[in-house]
């Protein structure tokens, strides 16, 4: 019989602790201008496929076998240069004319053609410049397909196998994500950096990807279904205290700070183990600024009054009829209003606590009375 009062006390304590937590962590309430100035954007939390990834840095390189060099078979001097940097050429196009050192009047002239189709990356010769057979005069790259080479730390390279997919971001095109499969791993590691090369082939029909461009790689090593996750930009705080801001279900332009337990992270999303549920609108852009916005530009009372159509106290509780009448009778006397608001909130709490205690005592008395009367009735029969 004693379990029922204990359960009631536990429920009362739980409700009280949640109320105190909500009071100590009020929502940040903004007006329309505040939302625009902070650039607030939200997304809906959802259960999706979550990818475990290996992150690495690298660069765009010329695909092996797709680089050509123009050189002269004879010694002489450059007579005419047609080649220009970044000029497209087809295999067999004339690029350089070399005047031979062999005697003649005029001396023999040798035409140098493009050994492959592509774009000219370097022109290392000028008109009148002496040339020898060992000189690299013009370099040509075929960039229709390029190699994205990632430098993967050795302790992570063991997770990689040929054919794994990667999401590749190029610094020059931050809004675009390139997809490719792992073509091959390096034959040897780099002892200086402690990395191993992982090469991906990217189609490049518009030739916008150029050798030397920086790239970021997220190589997918596994995938799990039905995982609650949010964009990484939503996550705030330090590793010991992670939290997000969630849009309030009731109040417009109000955002609630929610502590969360996080799991794995990849380059785009973070796994949420507890603290959120599907459908929560979590703040992505502007979440960092909200942490320094204080209570916002609109008071809790103003927001609740506008949302519900009836007056509230400063702490968010609804005004009683007596409080409304008192506020109305005092008119614009702010000193009395502040005193009544400060006094009425504690009084309401005391009254509520007293009522709960009386209910518990009444329940205990009823249970005790029932337990003592039952044997007497049994003997009378």
Cis omega before residue 106 (within 30°)? Answer: yes
> Of 120, 141, 162, which residue constitutes the final position of a domain?
141
Q: Closest Cα partner for 70 from 123, 142, 128?
A: 123
Sign of CA dihedral 28, 33, 38, 40: positive
Q: Are 243 and 335 within one domain?
A: no
φ, ψ dihedrals at 101, nearest 5°: -85, 0
pLDDT at 296: 47
Q: Cα separation of 269 and 183, whole Å?
A: 26
Q: Render 102-132 in DSSP notation, one character per residue.
A: S--SSPPEEEEE-SSSEEEEEE---TT-EE-
- Where residue 126 sits, what CATH number does that domain have? 2.40.50.100
Q: Are 48 and 196 within one domain?
A: yes
Q: Are 56 and 137 within one domain?
A: no
Q: Are 128 and 218 within one domain?
A: no
> Of 294, 318, 341, which residue constitutes the final position of a domain?
294
Q: What is the DSSP letter of 188?
A: S
- Residue-number span of the structural domain to which 246 is assigned: 32-62+148-294
pLDDT at 291: 73
Q: Are 316 and 282 within one domain?
A: no
Per-residue model confidence as pLDDT tens for the chain (381 residues): 444 455 445 445 434 433 444 455 678 888 788 888 888 888 888 888 999 999 999 999 999 999 999 999 999 999 999 999 999 999 999 999 999 988 888 889 999 999 999 999 999 999 999 999 989 999 999 999 999 999 999 999 989 999 999 999 999 999 999 999 999 999 999 999 999 999 999 999 999 999 999 999 999 999 999 899 888 888 888 888 899 988 887 777 888 888 999 998 888 888 999 888 888 889 888 888 887 765 544 444 444 444 444 454 554 455 565 555 666 565 545 544 444 444 344 445 545 666 676 677 777 776 766 655 545 444 444
pLDDT at 240: 85
User: pTM here?
Assistant: 0.63
Structural domains counted in the chain: 3
pLDDT at 200: 97
- By the 10 Å C-beta count (0-12 exposed, 13-18 middle, 19+ buried), 85 is classed as exposed
Q: Are 174 and 261 within one domain?
A: yes
Q: Are 153 and 122 within one domain?
A: no
pLDDT at 277: 83
Helix %, strand %, coil % for the chain, to 5?
30, 40, 35
Token representation of residue 10: 């536990």
pLDDT at 351: 53
pLDDT at 285: 87
pLDDT at 321: 58
Contact 340, 330 (CB under 8 A): yes
Q: Are 44 and 174 within one domain?
A: yes
pLDDT at 72: 94
Q: Are 197 and 306 within one domain?
A: no
pLDDT at 45: 85
pLDDT at 278: 82
Q: Are 182 and 258 within one domain?
A: yes
pLDDT at 344: 43
pLDDT at 308: 44
Helix, strand, or coil (residue 32): helix
pLDDT at 36: 85
pLDDT at 329: 60
Contact 119, 89 (CB under 8 A): yes
- Where residue 248 sits, what CATH number does that domain have? 2.40.30.170
Q: Render 351-364 in DSSP notation, one character per residue.
A: HHHHHHHHHHHHHH
Q: Are 248 and 377 within one domain?
A: no
Q: Are 21 and 51 within one domain?
A: no
Q: Cα separation of 222 and 207, whole Å?
A: 32
> Of 115, 141, 167, which residue constitutes the final position of a domain?
141
């Amino acid at each position: 019989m004693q379990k029922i009062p204990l359960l009631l006390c536990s429920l009362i304590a739980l409700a009280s602790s949640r109320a105190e937590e909500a009071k100590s962590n009020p929502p940040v309430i903004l007006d329309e201008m505040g939302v625009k100035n902070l650039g607030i954007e939200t997304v809906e939390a959802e259960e999706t496929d979550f990818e475990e990834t290996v992150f690495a840095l690298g660069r765009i390189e010329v695909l092996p076998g797709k680089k050509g060099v123009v050189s002269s078979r004879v010694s002489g001097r450059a007579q005419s240069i047609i080649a220009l940097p970044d000029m497209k050429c087809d295999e067999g196009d004339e690029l350089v004319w070399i005047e031979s050192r062999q005697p003649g009047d005029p001396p023999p002239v040798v035409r140098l053609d493009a050994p492959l189709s592509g774009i000219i990356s370097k022109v290392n010769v000028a008109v009148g410049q002496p040339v020898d057979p060992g000189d690299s005069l013009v370099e040509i790259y075929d960039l229709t397909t390029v190699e994205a080479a990632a430098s993967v730390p050795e302790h992570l390279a063991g997770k990689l196998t040929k054919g794994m997919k990667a999401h590749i971001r190029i610094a020059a095109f931050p809004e675009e994500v390139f997809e490719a499969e792992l073509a091959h791993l390096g034959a040897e590691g780099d002892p200086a950096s402690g990395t191993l090369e992982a090469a991906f082939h990217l189609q490049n029909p518009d030739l916008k990807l150029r050798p030397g461009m920086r790239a970021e790689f997220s190589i997918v090593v596994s995938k799990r279904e039905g995982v609650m996750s949010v964009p990484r930009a939503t996550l705030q705080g330090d590793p010991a205290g992670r939290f997000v801001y969630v849009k309030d279900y009731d109040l417009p332009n109000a955002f609630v700070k929610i502590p969360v337990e996080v799991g794995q992270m990849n380059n785009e999303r973070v796994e949420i183990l507890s603290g959120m549920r599907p459908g929560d609108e979590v703040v992505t852009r502007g979440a960092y600024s909200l942490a320094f916005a204080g209570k916002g530009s609109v008071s809790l009372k103003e927001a609740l009054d506008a949302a519900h159509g009836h007056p509230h106290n400063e702490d968010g509780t609804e005004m009683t009829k007596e409080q409304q009448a008192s506020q109305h009778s005092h008119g614009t006397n702010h000193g009395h209003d502040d005193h009544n608001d400060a006094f009425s909130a504690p009084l309401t709490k005391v009254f509520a606590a007293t009522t709960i205690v009386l209910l518990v005592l009444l329940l205990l008395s009823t249970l005790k009375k029932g337990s003592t009367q039952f044997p007497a009735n049994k003997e009378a029969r």
